[in-house]
Amino acid sequence: MEKVIFYLLAIIMVASAIASVSSRRMLRSVVYLLFVLIGAAGLYFLMDYNFLAAIQLTVYAGGIVVLIIFSVLLIQHIEMELEIAKSSRRWFSALLCLMGLSIFLGTIYSHPFAVAETTSTTTVAEIGRALLSFEKGGFILPFEVISILLLAAMIGAITIAKGGKEIKQEVPESLDIDKILQDAKQQAEEKVMELESSTKN
Amino acid sequence: MELNSFLLMRHEILLFSIILLLLIAELFLPRNKKSSMIHLALVFFGIHTAVGFLPLAEGSLFGGMFRSNEMIHFFKGVLNIGVFTLLLQSAQWLEKNMLKQDRGTEFFLLLFASLLGMYFMISAGDFLMFYIGLELSTLPVAALAAFEIMKRESGEAAVKFILSAALASGVSLFGISMLYATNGSIYFEDIMSTLTATNLTLLGFILFFAGLAFKISLVPFHFWTADVYQGAPISIASYLSVISKGAAAFILMILLFTVLKPLMHVWEPLLYILALATMFTGNLFALRQQNMKRFLAYSSIAQAGFILLGLVTGTQLGTATVVYFVTIYIFSNLAAFGVVQAISSQTGKENMKDYEGLYRTNPKLSLVMMLALFSLAGIPPVAGFFGKFFLFTAAASKGYYLLVFLAVVNVTISLYYYLLVIRAMFLRKGENPIPFFKSKIYMKLGLFIAVMGMLALGLYSPLYDYIYELSAAFN
């Protein structure tokens, strides 16, 4: 039964991952990505990592995808379609991807992994304790440093978003000599005409 | 864990307090007094640098996630001086161009956050802290590269940088996950005893190495370097090429010589090939550059190749020479970038052609530039010569004669293009040379520190002995 569910999830994930990168509309790509993320959450449930699966659903499927959709909507029109690459380039990158995939799969499948014997699930209380523990296996330091990272990222984002006033360059605009000459000529001719008409009167 | 054991993290805690203090000061300072932010930040960081040289105990915290010893402590001190010099050099640019746009404090906040990431990366005792340190040191720099946001090139540089950095750290993280899968731990101590050269471990190592190689801009991963350096503000190009590269080279050395030592038979030939490729590519591309920032970018790629030369050896001599060389490189490149910064913030000129006849109008600046380029090229009176000489000795003592020979060929090539700049400054007259100008006191001080560092490292030999003594910690 577990195997059936696993393969079902895997097929959904791989299919929507391929659809996500090959779709020509940004918004559709994002929605396909959502299926990949939900599938990953399903895999975590299958392995009894309940907390991780919940986090995956709330943070990735819930938060991050919404963020991506927002930025897509802010930047692009919904109808806009991405360009299609040249077919030679497409084949080349497909070949490269397949080669990479075969190398990775070959190495991972040939590795003799030690099968873990413990099957007990990690409770939220244990995770919470590990997150704030400073002994070996505790994560208080990374936890704190990540908050500094978030602070820095926020400051950086504000710096970029707040923009800047345009500095006026002192370089003159490109001189269109022909146009200037023509204008001058026209003005001179008009003046001459005026003068002539005034002298006639 | 006792309270006074936090003293081991003195660098980190002090720097983070400075970040918070500046953040609060920015809130309460009136709008028309923003220029005093620069002085405030300089004073704070000056104190931090000075305090950093007080001796520090050895040990590890948080179950081995954070560790420190005298070598790490020494290198943090070097990074501090480097950043301090850089701040001095960029004060004029900040005051002249950035304060008008109501930006200035952010520069310090982001730069210090990035430096904090480097501290954590150097002190990391496990892959998690290493990775977070790597991210913390990279992410703020992307925002800094876009600091002159009204310039198109600046934004472009930032986008290029963040995309390639994200790819590199993603690849690196994938590699780390493989190392974790095969060893069952992320702590360096645990991995050291279980690491064996299975296929999956090697794949993980290579992916992990690629992420760091991106930061040092070794050759297959160097494409971002020249574009980003050219587009970003000079201070940030200088930061990327000096501080960021120095710290990454240092952490690469620590990892290779301790955790990844069991894989030495794998990374030795890898580094051998990468060293050659990096040196040749960097040098050959540097030959035809006209923009000074691009020129220094390719020159710094070539220098990274020399750093690998010392890493190949894997001995105590290798450690000492690499640290010595990186320290010299930091000061020399700071001086070179400082002169480019001084000229650019005064006149806005960045091309090699504009430097023609500089000696006649600004003799002191061109003298500093000459010393810096001599040091980068490795000409005797300055420190760079000893740095390269010791590197070659270290490599030759392990029997890499061919590698040393090819490296010497590269030194000759590099001599040619470094002398091109010197010829432009001293021998060419130039149609309209840069007129004489006086730099501000901060800039003068910044250049002075860089030049003193170069001279002291070359002429005062106890410094090298000190580094050699410290490097026993990693073997």
Residues 52-111 of B with CB under 8 A from A: 61-66, 97, 100-103, 106, 109-110
Q: How far apart are CA A148 and CA B119, in angstroms?
A: 13
Quick one: pLDDT band at residue A78, thresholds 50, 70, 90?
A: low
What pLDDT is recorded for position B128?
A: 92
Q: How far apart are CA B141 and CA A160, in angstroms?
A: 12
Rounded mean pLDDT, B211-221: 88
Chain B residue with minimum CA distance to A166: B150
The residue that leads in pLDDT, A138 or B32, is A138
User: Contact, B403 vs B394, CB < 8 A?
Assistant: no
For residue B143, pLDDT beyond 60: yes
Of the pLDDT bands very low, low, confident and very high (cuts 50, 70, 90), residue A171 is very low
Question: Which of A139, A155, A167 shows the shortest C-beta gap to B110?
Answer: A155
Q: Which amino acid is at B470?
A: L
**Three-class SS state of B187:** strand
What is the percent of chain B with per-residue pLDDT over 90, rounded to a whole number? 35
Q: How far apart are CA B173 and CA B421, in angstroms?
A: 41
Q: What pLDDT, on the 0 to 100 scale, is given for residue A167?
A: 54
The answer to whether residue A170 scores a pLDDT higher than 50 is: no
> Does A200 reach chain B within 8 Å, measured CB to CB?
no
Segment A71-96 shows an average pLDDT of 80
Q: Which site among A117, A159, A167, A168 would you substitute to test the B interface, given the most B Cβ atoms closer than 10 Å to its Cβ?
A: A159
% of residues, chain B, pLDDT over 70: 99
Structure tokens belonging to residue B321: 């020479």
Lowest mean pLDDT among A54-63, B177-186, B463-472: B463-472
DSSP letter at A165? P
Question: Pick from B88, B63, B66: which is nearest to B76 by CA?
Answer: B66
Amino acid at A126: E
- Confidence label for B332 from pLDDT (cuts 50, 70 and 90): very high
Q: CA B228 to CA B297: how far, in whole Å?
A: 9
Q: What is the pLDDT of residue A200?
A: 64
For residues A23-32, average pLDDT: 86
Task: Inspect the interface and report whether the beta carbons of B150 and A167 lie closer than 8 Å.
Answer: yes
Nearest chain A Cα distance for residue B340, angstroms: 21
pLDDT bracket for residue B467 (50, 70, 90): confident
Query: Who contacts B407 (Cβ-Cβ below 8 Å, separation ≥6)?
Result: B275, B279, B305, B306, B309, B391, B392, B395
Q: pLDDT higher for A164 or A16?
A: A16
What are the sequence ranges of the domains in chain A? 1-100, 122-162
Residue A79 has pLDDT above 70, yes or no: no
pLDDT band at A151 (very low <50, low <70, confident <90, very high): very high
| Average pLDDT estimate for B136-157 | 88
pLDDT at B20 over 90: yes
What mean pLDDT do residues B341-369 have? 85
For residue B47, the model assigns a pLDDT of 93
User: What tokens were used for B102?
Assistant: 């109501």
pLDDT tens readout for residues B45-69: 999 999 888 888 788 888 888 888 8
B107-136 pLDDT, tens per residue?
999 999 999 999 999 999 899 999 999 999
Contacts of A145 in chain B (CB under 8 A): 120, 129, 132-133, 136
Confidence bin at A166 (pLDDT 50/70/90) = low
Identify the residue among B94, B99, B139, B171 best suited for mutation to test binding to A, counting A beta carbons within 10 A and taking the highest: B139
Residue A41: the pLDDT is 93
Domain coverage including residue B32: 3-474
Q: pLDDT class for A75, splitting at 50, 70, 90?
A: confident
- Mutation target to probe the A interface, by most A beta carbons within 10 A, among B5, B115, B199, B201 is B199
CB contact at 8 A, A191 and B178: no
Between residues A115 and A45, which one has the greater pLDDT?
A: A45
Rounded to the nearest 10 degrees, what angle do helices B316-347 and B462-470 cross at?
Answer: 120
Nearest residue on chain A to B207, alpha-carbon basis: A104
Residue B395 has pLDDT above 80, yes or no: yes
3-state secondary structure of A81: strand
User: How large is the ipTM?
Assistant: 0.88
pTM: 0.88
Q: Cα–Cα distance between B66 and B150 in angstroms, integer?
A: 40
Question: What is the number of structural domains in chain B?
Answer: 1
What residue type is B266 in one-letter code?
V
Structure tokens at B305: 């190749």
pLDDT band at A175 (very low <50, low <70, confident <90, very high): low
Q: Can you give the pLDDT at residue A32? A: 93
State yes or no: pLDDT of B16 exceeds 90.
yes
Contact B132 A149 (CB under 8 A): yes
Nearest residue to A116 via CA among A37, A48, A24: A48
Residue A12: predicted pLDDT: 94
Q: Once rounded to an integer, what is the mean pLDDT over residues B281-306?
A: 90
User: Can you name the residues that pair with B59 across neighbouring β-strands?
Assistant: B68
Q: Report the mean per-residue pLDDT for chain A.
A: 84
SS3 readout for chain B: CCHHHHHHHHHHHHHHHHHHHHHHHHHHCCHHHCCHHHHHHHHHHHHHHHHHCCCCCCEEEHHHCEEECHHHHHHHHHHHHHHHHHHHHHHHHHHHHHHHHCCCHHHHHHHHHHHHHHHHHHHECEHHHHHHHHHHHHHHHHHHHCCCCCCHHHHHHHHHHHHHHHHHHHHHHHHHHHHHHHHCCCEHHHHHHHCCCCHHHHHHHHHHHHHHHHHHCCHHHCHHHHHHHHHCCHHHHHHHHHHHHHHHHHHHHHHHHCCCHHHHHHHHHHHHHHHHHHHHHHHHHHCCCCEHHHHHHHHHHHHHHHHHHHHCCCCHHHHHHHHHHHHHHHHHHHHHHHHHHHHHHHHCCCEHHHHCCHHHHCHHHHHHHHHHHHHHHCCCCCHHHHHHHHHHHHHHHCCCHHHHHHHHHHHHHHHHHHHHHHHHHHCCCCCCCCCCCCCCHHHHHHHHHHHHHHHHHHHCCHHHHHHHHHHHHHC
**Are residues B146 and A160, on separate chains, in Cβ contact within 8 Å?**
yes
Maximum C-alpha span of chain B = 68
Q: How far is CA B239 from the centre of its chain?
A: 7
Pick the CATH number of A1-100 from 3.90.1150.10, 2.40.50.140, 1.20.120.1200, 3.40.50.300: 1.20.120.1200
Mean pLDDT of all residues in B293-306: 91
Residue A172, pLDDT > 50, answer no
Indicate the range of A22-26, B37-41, B79-83, B421-425 predicted with least confidence.
Answer: A22-26
Identity at B461, one-letter amino acid code? S
Tell me the one-letter amino acid at B352. Answer: M
**Could you tell me what percent of chain A has a pLDDT over 90?**
30
- Is residue A125 over pLDDT 70? yes
- Asked whether the beta carbons of residue B139 and residue A156 sit closer than 8 angstroms, the reply is yes
